Chains A and B, each alone.
Chain A
Amino acid sequence: MSATDKKNLQGNFKPQDAPQYADVLQCMRCGFCLPTCPTYALTGRERSNPRGRVALARAVAEEKLEFTPAVMEEAFFCLDCRACTTACPSGVRAGEVMEICRSQAHAFYPLGKVGKAFREFVLEKMVVSPDRLEKSMIPTRLYQRLGIQWLVRHLRVLKLGPDWMEKAEGMLPDLEKPLRPQLPDVVPAKGEKRGRVGFFLGCVMTLMYPNVSRNTVRVLAHQGFDVVTPKETKCCGAPHLSEGDRETARQLAQFNLDLFLAKDIDYIVTDCAGCGAALKEYEEMLEGRAEQDKLALFRSKIRDISEFLVEVGLRTEGLKEVRTSVTYHEPCHLCHAQGISKQPREIIRKIPGVELREMNESSWCCGSAATWGLKYSDDSKKVLDRKLDNVAATGADYLVTGNPGCHLQLAWGLREREMPQSVLHLIELLGRATPED
């Protein structure tokens, strides 16, 4: 076979959304990713590490293996934490290859009737429209957040971890009213104006952490930016990508892209690491579907809040002292998916009175990873314990992070272990230092 014949080998994959053959060939099997992979640390099994997972995908492409239930299992067992992407000197993205394999899973193992209806209801009706979510009852919100999909999949293949319902309920924070309806369309800048930003308010943030995002808007305004929050914003698509529903994710992406590009804004800022990572992937997701310069323009505007504040320079005059010590947990979707690691620390250090105490393995996953923590609750507990041991060793007052998934998992873990710390989003910490008017 000549080189060109085999260039886009798909072999036993379905043609729609198959991993690129070149992407799996890129792995030279050096193993640099092995010590960073949480699932490998759990099982010690080669097929549950990035090198093994890429090898499985390659074997499917080369027709040495069918897309077997075990391949599907590995695709979903992968936390998609992207630690392997950071670790890989060759530029292989094993987590993304697995994400793509999740959509293959749906093509190969279609859901049963009940499951399908349920899934459609959650992923295609509820999650896509914040309005519906915000008006629905709490249990539905819970399902949305935790992605009821696992239940659906459970009907087919996966066994749900024990005690999942108990855990799910235990994790749920006290819910306030959703934030979105309360937010003005535009909040004007305070002090010397520095620009105008669009705020991408994520579904989980508006529903579960309204106080965080309220602070984000307040801080941005205090930093001299007009804050535009479009009410129509839809889900970023991250839950769909993570559950392997790439098609709905693309539709959502297209909608948000058009919505924000039509606004007069310099940047698009988010305070949810998961949303940020997904928004930055629109360019790739919509390749060939939207105009290249539109995609590039959109991409050039996306910033995580910490990335944004460091880039424009945090105005520290007038910040109040916050006497406390904190340690920082890096959300996977911030440090590994977006390469943002220094910025949150820089902001913490600039808040007067705050002492940053670094923990060991700050970039090791907390075990939440979207719905993973419910599917594999025993494993998730082990990953979480490792994290909490590292937190405990710092003796800090607060555990700071920047992603709702981590927030939920860490807060639950701290409560269960009766540890003295509580969790704060970085922006809540900065919010405490920012004077109310």
Chain B
Amino acid sequence: MISKTAIDHLVEKLGNENVLHEKEDLLTLGYDSTPGVHHLPEVVVYPTSSEQLIAAMEIAQREGLPLTPRGSGTGLSGGSVPVRGGMVVTLTRMNRILEIDEENLTATAEAGVITLDLFNAVAEKGLFYPPDPGSQKISTLGGNVAENAGGLRGLKYGVTRDYVMQLKGVLPDRSLIATGGKSVKDVAGYGFKDLLVGSEGTLGIITEITVKLIPPPQDKRTILAYFNDVRTAGEAVSRIIAAKIIPSTMEIMDRATINCVEDYVKIGLPREMAALLLIEVDGHPAPVAEEADGVRRILEQVKAAEVHVAKDADHAASLAAARRTALSALARVSPTTLLEDATVPRSRLAETFGEIERLGGKYKLKVGTFGHAGDGNLHPTVLCDERDHDEMERAHAFYNELYEKVLAWGGTVSGEHGIGLAKKEYLARQVGPGGVQVMKRIKQAFDPEGILNPGKIFEEKDPGTKQHVEEGFRVSH
């Protein structure tokens, strides 16, 4: 238990409204969007400056509390769940956009800024920040950096990492770090910045982020293709890429997903189709027209059931918005939605769909699949009930077997959601014991006492932390 004096201290340094310790608050700050994981912290702080952050970290150290950084809690691997209790550090009140530099095409913002807010702010100045995870209305930039989030535009524009130019933050020993800068080239020493991107809050707490901006595309075409079977859709994706066309977006939804999404958005998606692809090409008007034609030709060659073109920008936006709700909409069907993040080389897409279908049948599970098809990044989602033990076992077996194939094909166990709590054992399988060893040594170098987000990515021995397990709270994957 955190001491009363420590709470008083925190309140003194951060202000009453920025320190929460009532049970009702703790209960609602011990989860993220990952099913089945939940753990109570002992206290939650909302620093509004780096100074406050450092003050809170100092008190945590005195009290022997581990620290778990948190953004908006939309993570899908349990990254911000405080499995060892301690202090949750929420960055949502450090949410100022500090600068939009139109000369250098960069924007600098605090870590708690909501992704879409940054997008809108730079769009007002005629600039473009491409990374757009499905959660962009809610997620924070800090969370995006920590998970190296992808999005719908990843295929052409890349992921969060590709836009991070500079990071400022606080290391576990409370020293300030600033790494990278506005120069477009920088090879001075080890690339700490790149190490922090995707570090899932285990190496440092990010407070400020400078990202690269680009001019927005001048033109855009949105195409919607329906398919009678999922594998053909997968083939279409591989063929489009093989034809050297790089759409900005190539998203897939299968029948289960189409139906759930349509239940919510009611915009006339084809309920009877086995799959649909949402394809967007953008850039200068002439090549856009050419690429759109190219895409349409390929869709006809592979015998897509129907091909439609979005009527106007509003229609295109409503289609993309509909796609973003896929995961939550699937949650309509069953109490628990177990989602995975398997990613394969794009040429393997059709086979991966085949495998998902086969395994779904083998383990008698209801599966809905959607994802960033152009990135080879699929989210096969098992629609189940966490109260049904047997079903949960089968779901586990399903993923086990699927990942075996994915790894054999040279894929990865996580394309964008990270390892967190949920995928530790799969990571070890993918990178091997040697790989995990090196990761642990890097973690050691940054955080010798193991106080920052313990229990994530790999099982560590963490002599510096106490284990607090709240009775009745399950920690599982």
Contacts of A27 in B (CB 8 A): 331
Q: Give A47 to B30 CA distance when docked, in angstroms.
A: 11
Q: Which of A26, A52, A56, A71 makes the CB contact (< 8 A) with B335?
A: A26
Contacts of B325 in A (CB 8 A): 32, 89
B315-345 CB contacts (< 8 Å) to partner A: 325, 327-329, 331-332, 335-337
Report if B135 contacts A (CB, 8 A). yes
User: Which stretch (A62-70, A383-391, A405-413) binds chain B?
Assistant: A62-70
Q: Report A136-174 CB contacts with B as 1/0, cut-off 8 Å.
A: 000000000000000000000000000000000000000
Indicate if the CB atoms of B335 and A44 lie closer than 8 Å: no
Indicate if the CB atoms of A34 and B335 lie closer than 8 Å: no
Contacts of B327 in A (CB 8 A): 28, 30
Q: Which of A1, A52, A90 makes the CB contact (< 8 A) with B28?
A: A52
A367-426 CB contacts (< 8 Å) to partner B: none
User: Which stretch (B18-26, B198-206, B209-217) binds chain A?
Assistant: B18-26
- The residue of chain A having its C-beta at the shortest distance from the C-beta of B25 within the complex is A47
Q: Give A56 to B263 CA distance when docked, in angstroms.
A: 27
Nearest CB in chain A: distance from B37 CB, A? 10
Indicate if the CB atoms of B33 and A30 lie closer than 8 Å: yes
Q: Give A1 to B328 CA distance when docked, in angstroms.
A: 27
Q: Which of B22, B27, B138 makes the CB contact (< 8 A) with A34?
A: B138
Q: Give A196 to B92 CA distance when docked, in angstroms.
A: 55
Q: Which of A7, A44, A56 makes the CB contact (< 8 A) with B46?
A: A44
B13-43 CB contacts (< 8 Å) to partner A: 20, 22-25, 27-29, 31-33, 35
Knowing A34-B72, A46-B29, the reply to whether A91 touches B135 (Cβ < 8 A) is no
Report if B93 contacts A (CB, 8 A). yes
Q: Report A42-83 CB contacts with B as 1/0, cut-off 8 Å.
A: 001111000110011001001111001011001000000000
Indicate if the CB atoms of B329 and A64 lie closer than 8 Å: no
Report if A135 contacts B (CB, 8 A). no
Indicate if the CB atoms of B387 and A28 lie closer than 8 Å: no
Report if B192 contacts A (CB, 8 A). no
Q: Give A56 to B22 CA distance when docked, in angstroms.
A: 12
Range for the number of chain B residues in contact with chain A: 35 or more
Knowing A30-B74, A31-B74, the reply to whether A70 touches B24 (Cβ < 8 A) is yes
Report if B409 contacts A (CB, 8 A). no
Knowing A44-B93, A56-B28, A59-B27, the reply to whether A35 touches B22 (Cβ < 8 A) is no
Q: Which of A3, A65, A88, A89 makes the CB contact (< 8 A) with B388?
A: A3
Report if A29 contacts B (CB, 8 A). yes
- The residue of chain B having its C-beta at the shortest distance from the C-beta of A63 within the complex is B472
Report if A25 contacts B (CB, 8 A). yes
Contacts of B337 in A (CB 8 A): 28
Contacts of B35 in A (CB 8 A): 28
Q: Report B84-121 CB contacts with A as 1/0, cut-off 8 Å.
A: 00000000110000000000000000000010000000
Knowing A28-B331, A89-B264, the reply to whether A46 touches B22 (Cβ < 8 A) is no
Report if B137 contacts A (CB, 8 A). yes
Report if B385 contacts A (CB, 8 A). yes
Nearest CB in chain A: distance from B351 CB, A? 29
Contacts of A34 in B (CB 8 A): 72, 138
Nearest CB in chain A: distance from B382 CB, A? 13
Indicate if the CB atoms of B28 and A47 lie closer than 8 Å: yes
Contacts of A89 in B (CB 8 A): 261, 264, 325, 328-329, 331-332
Nearest CB in chain A: distance from B42 CB, A? 16
Report if B180 contacts A (CB, 8 A). no
Contacts of A65 in B (CB 8 A): 23-24, 27
A193-243 CB contacts (< 8 Å) to partner B: none
Indicate if the CB atoms of A90 and B329 lie closer than 8 Å: yes
Q: Report A78-114 CB contacts with B as 1/0, cut-off 8 Å.
A: 0000000000111100000000000000000000000
Indicate if the CB atoms of B335 and A25 lie closer than 8 Å: yes
Indicate if the CB atoms of B331 and A31 lie closer than 8 Å: no
- The residue of chain A having its C-beta at the shortest distance from the C-beta of B22 within the complex is A70
Report if B473 contacts A (CB, 8 A). yes
Report if A297 contacts B (CB, 8 A). no
Q: Which of A46, A64, A91 makes the CB contact (< 8 A) with B25?
A: A46
Q: Which of A28, A44, A55, A62 makes the CB contact (< 8 A) with B92?
A: A44
Q: Which of A28, A35, A90, A91 makes the CB contact (< 8 A) with B138?
A: A35
Contacts of B473 in A (CB 8 A): 64
Report if B73 contacts A (CB, 8 A). yes
Indicate if the CB atoms of B332 and A55 lie closer than 8 Å: no
Q: Which of B93, B328, B335, B387 makes the CB contact (< 8 A) with A30?
A: B328
Nearest CB in chain B: distance from A33 CB, A? 9
Contacts of A56 in B (CB 8 A): 24, 27-28
Q: Give A62 to B472 CA distance when docked, in angstroms.
A: 9
Interface centre among A3, A6, A7, A63 (most CB of B within 10 A): A3
Indicate if the CB atoms of B387 and A3 lie closer than 8 Å: yes
Indicate if the CB atoms of B328 and A46 lie closer than 8 Å: no
- The residue of chain A having its C-beta at the shortest distance from the C-beta of B387 within the complex is A3
Indicate if the CB atoms of B28 and A55 lie closer than 8 Å: yes
Indicate if the CB atoms of A68 and B23 lie closer than 8 Å: yes
Q: Give A74 to B261 CA distance when docked, in angstroms.
A: 30
Contacts of B32 in A (CB 8 A): 29
Indicate if the CB atoms of B387 and A6 lie closer than 8 Å: yes
Indicate if the CB atoms of A32 and B328 lie closer than 8 Å: yes
Indicate if the CB atoms of B31 and A29 lie closer than 8 Å: yes
Knowing A35-B138, A44-B93, A46-B28, the reply to whether A26 touches B332 (Cβ < 8 A) is yes
Question: Could you tell me which B residues sit within 8 Å of A by CB distance?
Answer: 20, 22-25, 27-29, 31-33, 35, 46, 72-74, 92-93, 114, 135, 137-138, 261, 263-264, 325, 327-329, 331-332, 335-337, 385, 387-388, 472-473
Question: Could you tell me which A residues sit within 8 Å of B by CB distance?
Answer: 1-3, 6-7, 22, 25-32, 34-35, 44-47, 51-52, 55-56, 59, 62-65, 68, 70-71, 74, 88-91
Q: List 10 A-B contacts (CB under 8 A).
A: A27-B331, A30-B138, A31-B74, A46-B25, A47-B24, A55-B28, A56-B28, A63-B472, A89-B325, A90-B328
